[in-house]
Structure 1
Amino acid sequence: MASLVTLTHVTAYRYDRPVLLGPQTIRLSPAPHAAAVVRRHALKVEPANHRLFHRRDPQGNPESLAVFDGRVEHFTVVAELEAELVPVNPFAFVLEDGADRWPFRYDPLLAAELAPNLRSGVTGEGIAALIPTRRENGEDTIPALLAVARRVAGEIEYIRRDEPGIWEPEEVISRAQGSCRDTGWLLVHAFRAMGIAARFCSGYLLDTNENTAELHAWAEAFLPGAGWVGFDPTSGLLAAEFHLPLSAASDPRLAAPVSGTHEPCGVTFSASLSLVAT
């Protein structure tokens, strides 16, 4: 049964003196690959002495650029959306021949296109222990990837972290805890160590039973025949209609909800999300 939801997300920065802001990039618009049917979306930026430019990043994610004229004492973004959540089967795809068994190789032309999402660097001991051992005859791709996501969900305690930044994957493993953005980035690294193109995705997680919403993060793997498939390391499940992606990128810094610069000053940050489901 479909649910109609209205989401209001307020992000506010208050400065201890009037300051000059650099251009502020806002990534709080629904991404085009969202399962939800977005009926309306609007961004409001305060104070009024700004110009707002809408554009797409290299991955096709929508983003807006706020350019301020003069000094400001605060910077507030209000994102509002109405969406219809239609139940989806996250397994409703057919992988191409060859991609249905892991390990597999991407077509060279596709691999070149996916190169930033295949870059893995040195695989640490923690990640190496997470990923399955390669079998001579391979194994089904989706169960293999889900098993890794479920291991992360089962072995890494979820915590809320208000401070900025993302912990490196080996630190998350050694701590055995992390926020959703920490485990999302960890899962990206684990998939890449398996030879699977993966990217970091930020978005909303909607709960229509409790009428709550929160900023969330997960990993997306590119699987020939299916495209980008979301894996949530907090729950160990595939992303579905309650995951509403905002931005996906090879590096989480390119998917931050808001990024920009300002003069040195004291900053007070606050954020609130409200969800109404009918």
Structure 2
Amino acid sequence: MTIKVALKHHTAYHFDRPVTIGPHIVRLRPAPHSRTPISAYSLKIQPKNHFINWQQDAFGNYLARIVFPEKARQLVVDVELIAEMTVINPFDFFLEESAEHFPFRYGEQEQIDLAPYLRIHENGPLLQRYLGSINLKRQQTANFLVEVNSKLQQHINYLIRMEPGVQSCEVTLEKKIGSCRDTAWLLVQILRHLGLAARFVSGYLVQLTADQKSLDGPSGPEQDFTDLHAWAEVYVPGAGWIGLDPTSGLFAGEGHIPLSCTPEPSSAAPISGATDKCEVEFKHSNQVLRIHEDPRVTKPFTEDQWQSILRLGDEVDQQLEQQDVRLTMGGEPTFVSIDDMEGAEWNIAALGKDKRRLAGELLLRLREKFTSGAVLHYGQGKWYPGEPLPRWALSAYWREDGEALWQDNKWLADEATDYQLTSADAHQFIQA
């Protein structure tokens, strides 16, 4: 299922008097390798009297070179685009056999091609100390990249820093705080010290509110959000460029829309240029709007849509009844694990280390959700061919009129508690 969003990015420079505006470079068009589908894009510039030429820089990024023939009191850049937020699996890649495990070496031709992305710019003592804390033992490359990225995210706190430019690695490591630009550049230098080609990425970050609250971690933003962002990409043979976001500690996904990818941050600035000396009032805003989204498991039909479906179902039932068509239907939900999707108990086995326990917890939660005063029954259910015993059937029964069948839940044993009871206790209970 796809959510289609419209992104609007407004940047305005208001000058205190008419000034000469030198040629400007605008790097605000999604890069050719963006994995998020972009179905529409527009760039509008004020003042209207200008010349614009679309180009690609030495690294393949799109850029608009804009020339202004007359003085003006403002410079306004408006970007609008439509993106399809199709879920992207950032681990959907195959590695060359030579690069499946870290450390690895690039081929001779690759080293020539990647030379700008292997150049080390910083080599301070704090950076060397941090490099010494990284586990360099032979391991799967994907796991190594996950560890390096998440380790840096935990080490550096995030700060919104409006000042232009990028901090040095030493400053970021000393303060243990930095903007997305600072942390991205630090990660680029770390990767290069480790022998991995890396580049700096400037782009848009789109974060949409989750349909449902997460059960085992942060649920993300409370409102749909977009802004300019920065992260890093590392080149691994077989996979190509892989996006790593050290601000979040995650790999880049559908919400990461790259605009410019370069060996150094200065070449990826969203807007660069000069004007006459003057006083400037700077304004900017970013907005993301959902313009289409399909119903899905986590966000199904609206109430009106459900009512329409139910009315149609009633009409079908009436026609079936009128024509004496008698049908029966059976069905059951199939549960899978959020953190053990490959486990046998969630695919082929009747039980495992977690399924029975989680089923009991779910039964208690459903009891509280549906009713009060329900009586619980733990018994046998379906008996599948080839299995030695029937499967467990956990049931909750209650009266529709609300009358309690079970008065006090404290008399129901907690399966997770060992009460030290014996067969003698069971016999006494039966005889009571």
Q: Tell me the TM-score normalised to structure 1 length.
A: 0.96
Q: Distance in 1 between matches of 2:113 and 2:252?
A: 24
Alignment partner, residue 194 of structure 1: 194
Instruction: Determine if the alignment matches structure 1 residue 96 to structure 2 residue 96.
Output: yes
Which residue does the alignment assign to 2:218? none
CA contact (8 A) 1:196 1:221 kept: yes
Secondary structure of 1:98 counterpart:
helix
Deviation of residue 27 (structure 1)?
0.4
Q: Residue 48 of structure 2 aligns to a residue in which SS? A: coil
Contact 1:12 1:271 in 2 (8 A): yes
Alignment match, 1:108: 108
- Say which SS state the counterpart of residue 253 (structure 1) adopts: helix
Q: How far apart, in 2, do the equivalents of 1:211 and 1:203 lie?
A: 17
Shift of 1:126: 2.6
| Greater displacement, 139-148 / 15-24 | 139-148
**Does the CA contact (< 8 Å) of 1:203 and 1:243 recur in 2?**
yes
User: Unpaired segments of 5 or more residues in structure 2?
Assistant: 210-222, 293-432
User: CA contact under 8 A between 2:122 and 2:169: conserved in structure 1?
Assistant: no
Q: How does 1:234-245 map to 2 (within 5 A)?
A: 234-245=247-258
| TM-score of the superposed pair, with normalisation by structure 2 | 0.63
Please name the residue that 2:129 is paired with. Answer: 129
Higher relative contact order (CA 8 A, sep 6+): 1
1:214 aligns with 2:227: yes
Q: Distance in 1 between matches of 2:277 and 2:127?
A: 38
1:23–1:260 Cα contact (<8 Å) kept: yes
Distance, in Å, in 1 between the alignment partners of 2:255 and 2:145 is 20
- Whether the aligned pair in 2 keeps the contact of 1:41 and 1:81 (CA below 8 Å) is yes
Aligned residues: 276
Q: Deviations over 1:57-84 (max 9, x none)?
A: 1111111011001111110000000011
Q: Report the Cα distance in structure 2 between the residues aligned to 1:250 and 1:123, rounded to whole angstroms.
A: 17
Q: Higher strand share goes to which structure?
A: 1
Mark the CA change 1:259 to 1:122 in structure 2 (over 3 Å): closer, same or farther: closer
The amino acid that maps onto 1:104 is: F
The answer to whether the aligner puts 1:7 opposite 2:38 as a matched pair is no
Q: Secondary structure at the match of 1:152?
A: helix
Computing the radius of gyration over CA atoms, which structure comes out larger, 1 or 2?
A: 2
Secondary structure (helix, strand or coil) at the match of 2:70 reads coil
Q: Could you say which residue in structure 1 is the equivalent of 2:345?
A: none
For the 8 Å contact 1:130–1:151, the answer to whether it is kept is no
Amino acid corresponding to residue 5 of structure 2 in structure 1: V
Same amino acid, percent of matched pairs = 42
Mapping 1:58-73, distance limit 5 Å: 58-73=58-73
Structure 1 residue 133 displacement after superposition: 4.2
Task: Give the superposition deviation at 1:202.
Answer: 0.6
- Report the AA paired with residue 35 of structure 1: R
Per mean C-alpha deviation after superposition, the further-off stretch among 58-67 and 117-126 is 117-126
Is the 8 Å Cα contact of residues 25 and 260 (structure 1) preserved in structure 2?
yes
Runs of 5+ unmatched residues, structure 1: none
Equivalent position SS for 2:98: coil
Report the equivalent of 2:313. Answer: none
Cα distance per residue 1:128-157 (max 9 Å; x no partner): 33332433xx22212212212111111111
Task: Output the amino acid matched with 1:217.
Answer: A
Alignment-mate amino acid for residue 247 of structure 1:
S
